[in-house]
């Protein structure tokens, strides 16, 4: 509001001055916020750029180079890159050894992921039970296998499974049970690897699933109890749906790791007896480091990568559709 003074000049009231000052403060605050946001954005870029450069150097560039190599005839002992062609990819489809390795990889992946999940989920439910005393001690014991490198696990189990001198067959002999050749019998070798993998990797799934169960809200369960829900109803209608995102992430990680299984095969069987335990990763290792065929091994690696990406997308889609239900 303006007042007309005697001299005919306008004079600002206190309210006008206050209003003007507030506008100035607002403007300055807005400018300060803008400047702060800009400097924050710059800081983010400064922080992210080294990481991006690092990732590019150790992941991006090798990945692109491997893709480039996969289209070339490139055997290390012969020297540089050879002719450009699609042979490395086309020959994959005629490779009978890869077919066997793919079948074995599927059996291994399906078996270990499904069995490990069932065991780990059962154990996680048990450990999440509030009436269980000393749960953390059990958890620590169950997590010990996860601490061990796969090479060590393989060497230990190789000794344990020795048909003549291993403690497992010795113990079976004491109770007059058959003493099988765990790694020497082609019908048993893959089952043995599955057992060793379950021993080693179940604790990883257990940890993730237990973390998921611990984070579930108690209120829903209390409400369910008030509504008269039974234990199985709580499990079916609350635990499973609420745990689904965690389960999918855990299973996805394990599927990817199982598809890449290499260490245990290398230590325990080298793909044998015969070709009974040869997996895709072990086959790629042989092509790359024994045959030194970098072109073909790069093509095979990209095939495995595509397979893993497809599986990831399928599981992500499944996860999203669960979320929307």
Partner 1 sequence: MKKRILFTIFGILIVLSLLLSSCQPTTTQPPAEEPTTEEPVAEGKPFEGVTINIMMEGVPDTEFVQELLPQFEEQTGMKVNIEVLNYAMMHEKLVPQLTAPEGGGSYDVIVVDNYWVGEFIYADWLMELDDRLANSETISLDDYLPSMVNMVGVLGDKAYMVPFYNYAMALIYCNVPEVEGKVGEIPNSIPEYVELIKSLTDADAGFYGASMMGLRPDPITMEWLNYLYSSGGLIYDEDWNVIVNNENGVEALTQYVDAMKNAASSGAPAYGFDETFTEVAQGKAFGFITFNWMLPQLNDPEMSQVVDMCTVTSVPGGKGLLGGWGWAIPKSSHSPDAAWAFIEWAESFDVAKARALAGGAPTRIDVFEDSDVLAAYPYYKEVEQIVGEAITFPIMSRSPQVVEVLGRVLSEAVIGSKSPQEALDEAAAELAGLVD
Q: Give the interface with partner 1 as residue ranges (CB under 8 A).
A: 76-79, 136, 139-140, 143, 146-149, 151-152, 162-165, 180-186, 189, 207, 210-211, 214-215, 266, 268-276, 286, 289-292
**What is the closest distance, in whole angstroms, from the C-beta atom of residue 211 to partner 1 in the complex?**
6
Distance CA 13, CA 230 (A): 73
In the complex with partner 1, the residue whose CB is nearer, 19 or 289, is 289
Nearer residue to partner 1 within complex by CB, 156 or 307: 156
Based on its alpha-carbon atoms, the radius of gyration of the chain, rounded to whole angstroms, reads 31
Dihedral of CA atoms 145, 263, 272, 253 in degrees, nearest 10, equals 80
Indicate the residue among 67 and 163 with the shorter CB distance to partner 1.
Answer: 163
Are 92 and 303 contacting, i.e. CB atoms less than 8 angstroms apart?
Answer: yes
Q: Which is nearer to partner 1, 83 or 313 (CB)?
A: 83
Question: How far apart, in whole angstroms, are the C-alpha atoms of residue 185 and residue 135?
Answer: 39
**Least distance to partner 1 from the beta carbon of 161, Å?**
8
Shortest CB 241 distance to partner 1, Å? 21
Rounded least distance, CB 17 to partner 1, Å? 54
Give least dist CB 144 to partner 1, A: 9
User: Helix (H, G, I), strand (E, B), or coil: what is residue 285?
Assistant: helix
**Which of 153, 258 has the CB closer to partner 1?**
153
Q: How many secondary structure helices (H) and strands (E) does the chain include?
A: 14, 2
Contact between 128 and 214 under an 8 Å Cβ cutoff? The reply is yes
């Amino acid at each position: 509001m303006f007042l007309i003074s005697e001299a005919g000049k306008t004079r600002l009231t206190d309210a006008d001055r206050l209003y003007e000052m507030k506008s100035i403060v607002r403007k300055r605050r807005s400018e300060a916020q803008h400047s702060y946001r800009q400097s924050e954005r710059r800081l983010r870029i400064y922080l992210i750029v080294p990481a991006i450069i690092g990732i590019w150097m150790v992941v991006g560039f090798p990945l692109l180079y491997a893709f480039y190599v996969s289209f070339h005839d490139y055997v290390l002992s012969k020297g540089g890159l050879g002719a450009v062609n699609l042979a490395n990819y086309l020959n994959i489809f005629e490779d009978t050894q890869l077919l066997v390795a793919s079948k074995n990889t599927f059996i291994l992946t399906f078996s270990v992921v499904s069995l490990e999940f069932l065991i780990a989920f059962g154990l996680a439910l048990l450990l999440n039970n509030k009436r269980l005393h000393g749960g953390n001690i059990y958890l620590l014991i169950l997590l010990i296998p996860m601490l061990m490198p796969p090479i060590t696990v393989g060497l230990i189990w190789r000794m344990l499974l020795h048909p003549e001198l291993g403690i497992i067959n010795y113990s079976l002999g004491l109770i007059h049970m058959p003493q099988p050749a765990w790694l020497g019998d082609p019908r048993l070798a893959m089952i043995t690897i599955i057992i060793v993998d379950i021993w080693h990797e179940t604790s990883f799934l257990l940890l993730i699933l237990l973390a998921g169960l611990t984070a579930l809200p108690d209120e829903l369960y209390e409400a369910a109890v008030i509504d008269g829900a039974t234990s199985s109803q709580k499990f079916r209608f609350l635990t499973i749906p609420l745990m689904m995102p965690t389960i999918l992430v855990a299973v996805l990680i394990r599927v990817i790791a199982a598809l890449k299984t290499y260490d245990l095969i290398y230590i325990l069987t080298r793909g044998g007896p015969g070709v009974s335990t040869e997996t895709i990763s072990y086959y790629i290792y042989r092509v790359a480091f024994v045959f030194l065929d970098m072109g073909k091994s790069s093509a095979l690696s990209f095939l495995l990568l595509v397979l893993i990406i497809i599986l990831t997308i399928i599981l992500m889609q499944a996860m999203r559709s669960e979320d929307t239900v």
